[in-house]
Amino acid sequence: MRAQQVRAGFVELYGTEPEGVWSAPGRVNLIGEHTDYNDGFVMPFALPHTAIAAVSRRDDGVLRLHSADIEDGVAELRLDDLVPESDRAWTAYPAGVVWALREAGHAVTGADIHLTSTVPSGAGLSSSAALEVVVALALNDLYELGLPGWQLARLCQRAENVYVGAPTGIMDQTASACCEEGHALFLDTRDLSQKQIPFDLAAEGMRLLVVDTQVKHSHSEGEYGKRRAGCERGAALLGVDALRDIPYADLDAALARLGDDEEAVRLVRHVVTEDERVEKVVALLEAGETRAIGPVLVAGHASLRDDFRISCPELDLVVDTAMSAGALGSRMTGGGFGGSAIVLADVADVDTITKAVEEAFAAAGFTAPRVFEAVPSPGARRLV
């Protein structure tokens, strides 16, 4: 249905049928936060919310972009004029992907693109990665580049890091490109090796809720970059390439070596324990002990709040309220400083927990949160 609407929108705008229609999802991260730029482990799954793009090739070096979600005309850009960090609008994401493909030597000669997205923006659910990946997949298919999902993810990350100017890791793009329906993706961000872990909560009488606090965040602002630089500094102090290289068993010794460098101690402790938590969650899910991941999620939140210091009052309120109202587990998800939290709960407790969170937000004078159920959905694919 949405695919047909986007196709019709393309015809209205550009006067011809698109060559195809593609979709790419946003994601929610179950566990493994701020580990991806430390070469560590993550475990996202795809949301049913997607970016959908109708696309055709051009051969005249022109890129035309239009979003059904934004009141604006068609942006027309010359490929030879694409310059990193020159665009602060949404168009930087698709244009950055075209730039990254060409920079990597792929003969992309232009495109007409019309898109729309249901991934909430600024909610920590990877709306930018969905935009990037849908365009990358469409051009990969149309220009017959033959790039696998993980390689498209790398190019999209380069678009975001260099063209957009946001120093993010590889998790979101890989999730959007590679996740599978009914599964969470256990990803080693060092070599991008992947394992699809069956994650069917409905079959076990549980639900995973996403609570969008409506506190908007942006990765091109300073705090994300500061954490990343702090982690790199910690790795350098410990003489390793990345914090991934500190085994959990050696954590105490590593922290002792950092002495009274409180900042480095906190960042290193979060990353090393978070990698351990991802491995723990994988082991529990593979053993069929889904309910037991709850306390691991809560421990992850405490680490992000107290050591990494990227939570905010709204996220903490979701976690505290949900746990008091009977949730099995809860934590902030994504980059932090706002965005969303997840709540794992038995079906029977979902309404009580949702109501408790909504009432707690109202009592605190916060903007009402948006609560929805997250079902592990398909990764990027061609629709038409």
* Residues near ligand GAF (CB under 6 A): 33-34, 36-37, 168-169, 171-172, 219, 334-335
For the sheet with 340-346, list strands across it. 329-333, 340-346, 206-212, 370-373
- Which pair of tokens denotes residue 113? 């693109």
CB of 202 to ligand GAF, least distance (A): 26
Residue closer to ligand GAF by CB (options 172, 212) is 172
Catalytic residue (one of 172, 212, 275, 349): 172
DSSP H or E run through 65: strand 62-67
Distance CA 134, CA 141 (A): 11
CB of 105 to ligand GAF, least distance (A): 25
- The string of DSSP codes covering 182-214 is TEEEEEETTTTEEEEEE--TGGGTEEEEEEE--
Residue closer to ligand GAF by CB (options 66, 219) is 219
Tell me if 235 is assigned to a ligand binding site: no
Residue closer to ligand GAF by CB (options 20, 120) is 120
CB of 301 to ligand GAF, least distance (A): 13
Tell me if 358 is assigned to a ligand binding site: no
Tell me if 330 is assigned to a ligand binding site: no
Tell me if 17 is assigned to a ligand binding site: no
- Which pair of tokens denotes residue 153? 């993810």
- Which pair of tokens denotes residue 89? 């609008």
CB of 279 to ligand GAF, least distance (A): 16
Residue closer to ligand GAF by CB (options 63, 315) is 315
- The string of DSSP codes covering 292-304 is GGHHHHHHHHHII
Tell me if 220 is assigned to a ligand binding site: no
Residue closer to ligand GAF by CB (options 39, 112) is 39
CB of 54 to ligand GAF, least distance (A): 26
Beta-carbon contacts of residue 195 (< 8 Å; ≥ 6 apart): 185, 186, 282
CA angle 36, 173, 161 (to 5 degrees): 75
Beta-carbon contacts of residue 190 (< 8 Å; ≥ 6 apart): 39, 40, 242, 244
Tokens 């309120």 sit on residue:
317
Tell me if 67 is assigned to a ligand binding site: yes
> Judging by DSSP bridges, how do beta strands 370-373 and 340-346 pair with one another?
unpaired
DSSP 307: I
Residue closer to ligand GAF by CB (options 303, 321) is 303
Distance CA 189, CA 247 (A): 16
DSSP 368: P
Distance CA 204, CA 299 (A): 23
260 catalytic residue (yes or no): no
Tell me if 125 is assigned to a ligand binding site: yes
CB of 254 to ligand GAF, least distance (A): 21
Summarize the annotated binding site for substrate as residue ranges.
33-36, 224
Residues marked active site are found at: 172
Summarize the annotated binding site for Mg(2+) as residue ranges.
128, 160
Summarize the annotated binding site for ATP as residue ranges.
67, 122-128
